[in-house]
Amino acid sequence: MTLLLLLAFFFQDKPDESRLYHYQVQQHKAQVIMLREEKLISDTLAHQLAHAIREADRETIAEVKPLREDYAAFERRLIAKIGPQASRLHTGRSNNDMGATSERLFLRDDALEILAASAKARSAMLSLAEKNVDTVIPGFTHMVQAQPTTLAHQYTAFISALERDEQRLREAYARIDRSPLGVGAFTTSSFPLNRQRLRELMGLNGLVDNGYDAVMVSTVDTKVEFASVLSLSALNIGRFIQQFLIQYSDSRPGINIADGSVGHSSIMPQKRNPSDGERIRVLCSSIVADAQAVTLMAHNTPGGEHKDIRFELLERVERVSRESKLMYAKLATFVESLRVNPDRTLELVTADYSVMTELADTLMREGNVPFRDGHHIAAALANYGRANNKRPLDFTYEDFRLVYQKAVSQAPPISEAQFKQAMNPQSMIRNRKGIGGPQPAEMTRMLAGHHKNLASLEQWLAERRAAIQLANQSLESEFARLLLR
């Protein structure tokens, strides 16, 4: 995506009202089907309304650019075709419950698109992790090398975060996937509308039970929850990108970017700028900021249906949604562009002293040295190395013996072989015993779990889309029957 297109994307503030228009037409179809089934209108009027809805829809699409969710304008077309009786389509309903339903359909469909995009990003990360189970990389705390780990171990940690993001979004989806239709302005009506049938025809999974809640209260918290969940996801992805960018600033990064995915300076020919990563980071920051705007926009509004919580709030939520789709899509492409140099990542580890914890553990495990004493000895050895320009793999057993004897006035209780193994980051990783560690056996187990979770998401997406498609087909089939009467 060029910079111009990216800027155009950011300044597209309005939600796609053509979608809201089509959702409303679906509601017209569901309404006329339900009204006939409940005998609230005659078969003849139902037939006339069905034809009028179809023709008004065709005319609107041909004549109105851009399409708007405007029931009054649509109703005028219906009345022009079959007379005042056309307004019976509006029996027991309001712009309130129709608008609330369109907004839920908007968020529902966006949530499915975002989850599908997140699945692709997770798949790319899983593929890279599986190829790097044995790739040793530095692990940092306080931005300082701490202990060696593996690329697979680090990346699956972020995959775990994306799985939590999925769980949160699916929970939000379940609360979005409910129908306000049939509550009218908010107190329902004196007409016995079949809310369950309307819900079924619209492919929603449940009702917003309380009419006041349906159009006055839940219209806010569902939008804020949706934006907040996406903000959390952007936070996780932003941290992943920032961690990559920090290591990329090395003159010889261990994790690099394919030539076709870097940016180039207009004056400095040697530059390989991580432009795609930076764009993702910008998106993440924008999502966090815009999600906060959703909360602030909704804050302190009264419990009622009013302008603040309709289009203005939806505009802000939809901006977060659009940014999130792009964030996940660009993340998948970015991860696919990464090129790992295991020799260089191992070189970065062996250039520092991150194996010293293992030396303290070895002294305790093999030599019965209390951990704090072993910690003191390992620290003394690291200081000795820094003073003598030696790194862990450069240490001889004699170096270790001298440092140990100076510290505790006795010979080391571990052998040369045990000492050399403690200084080897690959051995350190292989010898991890705990659940969730970077050792190959644990990584194999965790990777299998992540694959299972991804397959579960993909199956859920397929099932939800199939259910929505089936509902749409049923709606169109029932509507077509009215046309034939």
Pair type for strands 255-257 and 136-141: unpaired
Per-residue model confidence (pLDDT) at position 5? 45
Residue 419: CB atoms within 10 Å: 22
The C-alpha angle with vertex 230 and arms to 227 and 232, in degrees rounded to 5, equals: 115
Is 250 among the domain residues? yes
For 178, the 3-state DSSP assignment is strand
- The residue range of the domain holding 153 is 92-346+449-484
Is 149 among the domain residues? yes
Could you give phi then psi for residue 343, rounded to 5 degrees? -65, -40
Is 361 among the domain residues? yes
CATH number at residue 338: 1.20.200.10
**CA–CA gap between residue 269 and residue 56 (Å, rounded):** 60
**Would you say 87 and 49 are in contact if contact means Cβ atoms under 8 Å apart?**
no
Burial profile 442-466: b = 16 or more Cβ within 10 angstroms, e = fewer: bbeebbeebeebbeebbebbeebee
Residue 293 and residue 227 share a domain = yes
For 49, the 3-state DSSP assignment is helix
**CA–CA gap between residue 454 and residue 123 (Å, rounded):** 8
**CA–CA gap between residue 288 and residue 23 (Å, rounded):** 28
* Tens digits of residue pLDDT in 281-333: 999 999 999 999 999 999 988 887 777 777 889 999 999 999 999 999 999 99
Which residues does 208 contact at the CB level (< 8 Å), separation at least 6? 100, 178, 179, 180, 183, 214, 218
Per-residue model confidence (pLDDT) at position 363? 96
Per-residue model confidence (pLDDT) at position 11? 46
H helix intervals, 83-150: 95-130
Per-residue model confidence (pLDDT) at position 265? 84
Residue 438: CB atoms within 10 Å: 25
Residue 307 and residue 262 share a domain = yes
* Tens digits of residue pLDDT in 126-174: 999 999 999 999 999 999 999 999 999 999 999 999 999 999 999 999 9
Residue 187: CB atoms within 10 Å: 10
Full-model pTM: 0.93
Is 307 among the domain residues? yes
**CA–CA gap between residue 454 and residue 475 (Å, rounded):** 32
H helix intervals, 249-389: 275-298, 311-336, 342-350, 356-367, 371-387
Is 431 among the domain residues? no
Is 110 among the domain residues? yes
Q: Inform me whether the pLDDT recorded for 3 exceeds 70.
A: no
Structure tokens at 226: 């949706």
Is 293 among the domain residues? yes
**Would you say 206 and 245 are in contact if contact means Cβ atoms under 8 Å apart?**
no
Number of domains in the chain: 2
Of 376, 406, 423, at which residue does a domain stop? Answer: 423
Residue 171 and residue 274 share a domain = yes
* Tens digits of residue pLDDT in 71-124: 999 999 999 999 999 999 999 999 999 999 999 999 999 999 999 999 999 999
* Tens digits of residue pLDDT in 321-374: 999 999 999 999 999 999 999 999 999 999 999 999 999 999 999 999 999 999
Residue 342 and residue 477 share a domain = yes
